[in-house]
Amino acid sequence: MTGITVARRAGAGTIRRAGLGPLGTAAAGVVVVAVVLAVLGPALSPADPNASDFASAYAPPAPGHPLGFDGQGRDLLARLLEGARTSLLGPLLVVALSMAAGTALAIAAAWAGGWLDAAVSAALEVVFAFPGVLLAMLVAAVFGPGLGAAVVALAVAYVPYIARLLRGAALAERGKPYVRALEVQGAGALAICLRHLVPNLLPLIAAQATLFFGYAMVDLAIVSFFGLGVQPPDADWGVMVASGRSGVLQGYPAEALLAGGCVVVLVVAFNVLGERLPGAAGAGGRPWRRTGLRTGRRTGRRGGAA
Amino acid sequence: MASYLVRRLVMLAATLLVSSLVVFAGLSAAPGDPLTTLSGGRSLPPQTVALLVERYHLNEPFLVRYASWLGGAARGDLGVSIQLRQDVSALIAARAGTTLGLIGYAALIVVVAGVAAGLLAALRPGTVDTVVVAATAVVVAVPPFVAAMALIGVFAVGLRWLPALGDGAGLWDGVRHLTLPALALAAAAAAAVARITRTSVREELGREHVQTAVARGIPYAAVVRRHALRNAAVPIGTLTGMTVASMIALAAVVERAFGLSGLGATLVNAALSKDFAVVQGVSLVLVTAFVLVNTLVDVGAALLDPRITLGGRS
Amino acid sequence: MNASLLDVEGLTVFLPVEGEERPVLRDVSLSIAAGEAVGLVGESGSGKSMTARAIVRLLPPGARTEGVIRYRGEDVGSLRGAALRALRTDVAMVFQDPRAHVNPVRTVGDFLTEGLRTHRRLSRRAAEERAVRVLDEVGIAAGARRLRQYPHELSGGLLQRVMIAAALLAEPRLLLADEPTTALDVTTQAEVMALLDELRRERELALLFITHDLELAAAVCDRTAVMYAGRVMEVRASALLHDDPLHPYTAALAAARPSLARRADRLPATPGRPLSAFEAPPGCAFGPRCAHARDACHERRPELLPLAGGQAACARAEELRGLLRDRNGKPVVSHDHA
């Protein structure tokens, strides 16, 4: 069993040793700051994010209100901090759901092989047909608007991309001698998968999760921008861009641009981080696979189901 | 080649069938009975209810309902909008032009600006390259709704160069009204295409076959065009096609931001007002377009690279 | 002197590696007369390919050259634009790996006719007719069909014939063949080599033939230059190179090749590893590995000097003459100088 422990340690060790470089470290810093602000948000908040005072609509920054007010006279900083919570929590749920389902599918397909693998691959090929945002709109129409429906819809739409990517890696891992050795020793399939395959795929999973966090953030913000996700008056960066639209037209772009800017900064941070994590190289580093990931994304086109 | 095309066609048909099933099944998956979903919770006079029951075969099993809906869709009958009291097909026909124009315009910007910027960066290492790389790194992360706000703020409200809202009348006015939306839709995609163009042209320029061409005294411009760019056309074309496909869904964002009455905006409005026939019809059209474009991209890549078609693997 | 087609004098090339300039060629001098075949032999990294590339100015970006290359009396280093392209059509190159050196996504016809259509402004049809004729000459039948095929549909040997045909279509005066048969299997190697030799003689082409195979060079070339660590060690009539080498390195190279004519249990290996030009010590570059080296060899770099109808860069060349090979053709590796 010693060989196996070594294999597991190698996986964890690569993460720890990873040099992110100055840009990657800065990106990690941005993410950490955003998370801290989101968690501590209400405590730091200078005002009630939902208290409106029409007298100060579109008012410029004032003492105690460093970013000024939106069109309904609500404090912008308070709303940005409040919005950070849903804007980060939503993508987190999407990524957790889609990664869990995608990893399970990928490993099951790679492990079983044969018809199950073929069936999963074919099914994934078909589900590629649904751009995440479109599926979210459909789901919102059926179940009513809300963050929950959007999260589930996006998670479902992401699964094929994740599963397809991980299936290749899982297949390679499954072919390694240590897996054969474990099987010979009589270890169960589930135990091998959970204790050895998943930990060894972890760097790749972490890198992909980071990249998809950025994509999920944009897609969720789009759904909220449509009015089909987080519902006003709750603050959310996507909602704020939508409600800031009338401000932009009247020459008060602060709300829309601040909220949009928060999304852009975090998306850049997640992209930079995801591309520098040790598992990123294993994700088939063709740049168009990554940059191509927008709503209608197709990763690893000829990679899997051929 | 023929067997490849047949395989792609079968895949295309299967994908379309499953997608349409997903679109249709939404109606049955909805909480409450389908009639409530169809009416969007509105109370309807009994004769309308009877009409809906008959039209959607609500008393029949699911597969029968799906088959009759799909049959109707194939004949161009997508039902009636409860809210707008209009044929969904007619509605789609009226709105598709704006979306098509918007995506076409944006695709043009992506190809021209993206390839030009990428080529420039690939051929001019140093300052030009650094500027393009830095600019595209930022722009590629700007989602269309943020780009839309920034463009409206600067070019429509600030500089007053172009209109911010509406469809415009006539060709010239229409183009003027579509310019900012198309830029918002194209920005991130153009940046992505510029980046792939830069890396793949660089990669090709470093290849041995390019050396052969230079060694044979072919003028450099021709070497770049006939060898580097031609060989990079597969990744560039694939990414461009994928981004254009993604615009089919993202156009809705830009249409909402700029108050354009295209298909995407129609879909969002229908989803907000629970006008389910419209949601189904527009979703079906958009998904079909998405799948078709993606298939075209695959086939196009196979045509551009003889090794994919004939060798099976590259 | 004016009979020579190509004159390389004191060619030194530096390449930037991790911020510093490293020499890859040192003081290389070489000349090729019209219609003459010259071999350029050396181990990998000895600078033979770099020499060929320098002749048509195909060096990597950032390379710095010293010395003069004259082609038909013109300074190659001063050529720009159209004049440089004209040089590159007059000096054709055949590369080692045809698979990598032919554009994979264009047809064989595109590859063959590109030069003709660009430089001679021939119509597609006229260029293709010529291409089919030359394909026939290099032993490819059904040329018209081949023109429509893609490189990946052709075998390596066929593709190298296509590359040779492409070179011949430019109607050059000088052919630079950079290990044209190394990537091919043995039987194909012999065929391609024979073809190259025959076509060259028919057309009175000058040839710079680059190889690591001394015997092969001797078989094809009138004269052969031996390179080591970016320097020319010896230039000699090919017929004499094997039996009467002037430089200990040539002798070592000749001995390291298996021969059908003699039996050996083990091929004598030269101790040490081949050096790159930038690693070479201040004295003779081969000094550290040379069985005949004296203290003086390590102090001063020997110049390439005329000797016995050839040239050698060895301080002891004259003294060692005839001692580098024993009666059985084995090299003398011991230190005795009886």
Domains and CATH numbers, chain B: 97-262 (1.10.3720.10)
Class of domain C4-221: alpha beta
Return d(Cα B122, Cα B116) in angstroms, integer.
Answer: 10
Residues of B in contact with A141 (CB under 8 A): 26, 270-271, 274, 276, 279
Residues C276-283: what's their mean pLDDT? Answer: 77
Going across the sheet that includes C4-17, the strands are C20-33, C4-17, C64-71, C74-75
Do residue B239 and residue A291 have CB atoms under 8 angstroms apart? yes
Whether residue A298 is contained in a domain is answered as no
Q: Which has the closest alpha carbon to C128: C151, C106, C111, C150?
A: C111
Using a CB-CB cut-off of 8 Å, the residues of chain B touching C118 are 217-219, 222
Please tell me which residue, C216 or B38, carries the higher pLDDT value: C216
> Is residue A50 included in any domain, yes or no?
no
Per-residue pLDDT band for B164 (boundaries 50, 70, 90) equals confident
Take residue B264 and report the two structure tokens written for it: 């995407």
SS3 annotation, chain A: CHHHHHHHHHHHHHHHHCCCHHHHHHHHHHHHHHHHHHHHHHHHCCCCCCCCCHHHCCCCCECCECCCECCCCCEHHHHHHHHHHHHHHHHHHHHHHHHHHHHHHHHHHHHHCHHHHHHHHHHHHHHCCCCHHHHHHHHHHHHCCCHHHHHHHHHHHHHHHHHHHHHHHHHHHHCCHHHHHHHHCCCCHHHHHHHHHHHHHHHHHHHHHHHHHHHHHHHHHHHHHHCCCCCCCCCCHHHHHHHHHHHHHCCCCHHHHHHHHHHHHHHHHHHHHHHHCHHHHHHCCCHHHHHCCCCCCCCCCCCCCC
C315 vs A228, higher pLDDT = A228
Distance between CA atoms of residues C242 and C228, nearest Å: 17
Asked if C100's CB is within 8 angstroms of B218's CB, the reply is: no
Residue B52 and residue B36: Cα distance in Å, rounded? 11
Average pLDDT over residues C183-189: 80
Q: Which residue of A has its CA nearest to B136?
A: A291
Cβ contact, residue pair B19, A130, below 8 Å: yes
Is C138 within 8 Å of C180 (Cβ atoms)? no
Q: What is the pLDDT of residue C171?
A: 86
CB contact under 8 A, C105 and B214: no
Closest Cα in chain B to A252: B153
Write the residue in A131, A286, A292 that is nearest to B249 by C-beta.
A131
Residue B145, pLDDT > 50, answer: yes
User: Which residues of chain A make contact with B243, given a CB cutoff of 8 A?
Assistant: 292, 294
Domain of A87, in residue numbers: 21-41+76-283
Mean pLDDT of all residues in B214-231: 89
Q: What's the CA gap between A120 and A88, in Å, rounded?
A: 31
- Name the nearest CA neighbour of C251 among C208, C163, C306, C314: C314
Do C and A have ≥3 inter-chain CB pairs under 8 A? no
Model confidence over C7-56: pLDDT tens digits? 888 898 988 888 788 888 888 888 898 888 898 988 887 888 889 889 98
Question: In the structure encoding, which two tokens stand for residue B163, read together?
Answer: 């209109």
Locus of tokens 């830009």: B254
- Does A62 fall in a domain? no
> Other CB atoms closer than 10 Å to residue B61's CB: what's the count?
9
Rounded-to-integer distance, Cα B236 and Cα C210, Å: 38
Give how far A305 is from chain B: nearest CA, Å.
Answer: 12
Answer yes or no: are the C-beta atoms of B283 and B210 closer than 8 Å. Answer: no
Distance, in Å, from the CA atom of B245 to the CA atom of B253, rounded to the nearest integer, reads 14
* Residue B82: φ, ψ to 5°: -65, -40
Span C209-257, pLDDT tens digits? 998 888 888 888 888 888 888 888 888 888 777 777 878 888 877 777 6
Angle between helices A132-143 and B230-258 (to 10 degrees): 30
Contact residues on chain A for B276, CB-CB shorter than 8 A: 141-142
- Say what the pLDDT of residue A303 is: 31
Chain-chain contact of A142 with B26 (C-beta, under 8 angstroms): yes
Cβ partners under 8 Å of residue A148, min gap 6: none
How is residue A11 written in tokens? 């996986």
pLDDT for the residue C268: 64
Question: CA C149 to CA C153: how far, in whole Å?
Answer: 7
Q: What is the mean pLDDT of residues B107-117?
A: 95
pLDDT score of C266: 62
B70 touches A at CB < 8 Å: no
Contacting residues of C for B213, CB less than 8 Å apart: 103, 114
What are the residue ranges of helices labelled H in B207-275? 208-215, 220-223, 230-258, 263-272
| B79 neighbourhood in chain A, CB within 8 Å | none
Predicted local confidence at residue C34, as pLDDT: 87
CA neighbor of C175 nearest in space, from C208, C199, C203: C208
Assigned token pair, C176: 């630079």
Range C165-170 average pLDDT: 88
Query: For C134-149, what is each residue's pLDDT tens digit?
Result: 888 888 888 888 888 8
Interface of B with C (CB under 8 A): 207-209, 211-219, 222, 226-227, 230-231, 234, 304-307, 310-311
**Residue A161 · residue A293 · CB < 8 Å:** yes
**Which class for A21: exposed (0-12), middle (13-18), buried (19 or more C-beta within 10 A)?**
exposed
Report the chain B residue with the minimal C-alpha distance to residue A298: B242
Which residue is closest to B212 within chain C, CA to CA?
A: C101
Q: Do the beta carbons of residue C324 and residue C251 sit within 8 Å?
A: yes
Range in A155-159, A297-301, C101-105 the model is least confident about: A297-301
Instruction: Judge whether A244 is closer than 8 Å to chain B, CB to CB.
Output: yes
Specify which residues A75 forms β-bridges with. A69
Q: What is the rounded distance in angstroms from the CA atom of residue C284 to the CA atom of residue C303?
A: 9
A302: pLDDT strictly greater than 60:
no
Which CA distances in Å does A112 have to A59, A117, A174? 62, 7, 10
Contacts 24+ apart (CB under 8 A), C17-21: C21/C64
Chain B neighbors of C93, CB-CB under 8 A: 212, 215-216
Would the pTM of this model clear 0.90, i.e. be above it?
no
The pLDDT, as a whole number, for residue C232 is 85
Residue A170 or B57, more confident:
A170
Q: What angle, rounded to 10 degrees, do the helices at B263-272 and B276-304 form?
A: 140
Asked if the Cβ–Cβ distance from A129 to B290 is below 8 Å, we say yes
The answer to whether the Cβ–Cβ distance between A248 and B153 falls below 8 Å is yes
CA distance C2 to chain B (A): 26
Q: Which of A24, A23, A69, A87 is nearest to A238 (CA)?
A: A87
**Residues in B touching A270 (Cβ below 8 Å):** none
Q: Is the Cβ–Cβ distance between B79 and B37 less than 8 Å? A: no
Nearest by CB: B305 against C93, C97, C105:
C105
For residue A288, is it within any domain? no
Give whole-number Cα distances, A185 to A176, A180, A192, B122, B136, in Å.
Answer: 15, 9, 11, 54, 53
What tokens does C270 get?
A: 């030269």
Domain boundaries, chain C: 4-221, 226-257+269-320
Q: Distance between CA C97 and CA B26 in Å, rounded?
A: 58
Question: Per mean pLDDT, which range of A139-148, A220-229, B193-202, C325-334 is the poorest?
Answer: C325-334
Cα–Cα distances (Å) from B58 to A139, B53, B75, B85, C194, in that order, read 21, 5, 20, 20, 82
Q: Rounded to a whole number, what is the distance in Å from the CA of C146 to chain B's nearest CA?
A: 15
Please answer yes or no on whether C103 and B306 come within 8 Å at the CB atom.
no
Q: How confident is the model at residue B187 (pLDDT cuts 50, 70, 90)?
A: very high
Can you tell me which residue has the tokens 């309902």?
B65
Q: Can you tell me whether residue B30 is helix, strand or coil?
A: coil
Answer yes or no: are the C-beta atoms of C32 and C91 closer than 8 Å.
no
Q: Which residue has the tokens 């011991």?
A: C334
| Cα–Cα distance for residue pair C200/C192, rounded to 1 Å | 12
Domain count, chain A: 1
Q: What is the CATH number of the domain that holds A26?
A: 1.10.3720.10
Burial B127-156 (b: 16+ CB within 10 A, else e): eebeebbeebeebbbbbbbbbbbbbbbebb
Q: Nearest by CB to A294, from B29, B250, B257: name it.
A: B250
Residue with tokens 């641009």: A257
A215 at interface of B, judged by CB pairs closer than 8 A: no
Looking from the CA of B222 toward its CB, the CA atoms found within 13 Å total 14
Note whether C118 contacts B207, CB cutoff 8 Å. no
Neighbors of chain A with 3 or more C-beta pairs under 8 Å: B
What pLDDT does residue A38 have? 83
Using DSSP bridges, classify how beta strands C231-237 and C64-71 pair: parallel, antiparallel or unpaired: unpaired
pLDDT in tens, C296-331: 777 778 888 787 778 888 777 777 776 676 545 455
C284-290 CB contacts, 8 Å cutoff, 24+ apart: C284/C313, C284/C314, C284/C315, C285/C26, C285/C228, C285/C229, C285/C230, C285/C231, C285/C233, C286/C228, C286/C229, C286/C233, C286/C247, C286/C248, C286/C249, C289/C252, C290/C248, C290/C249
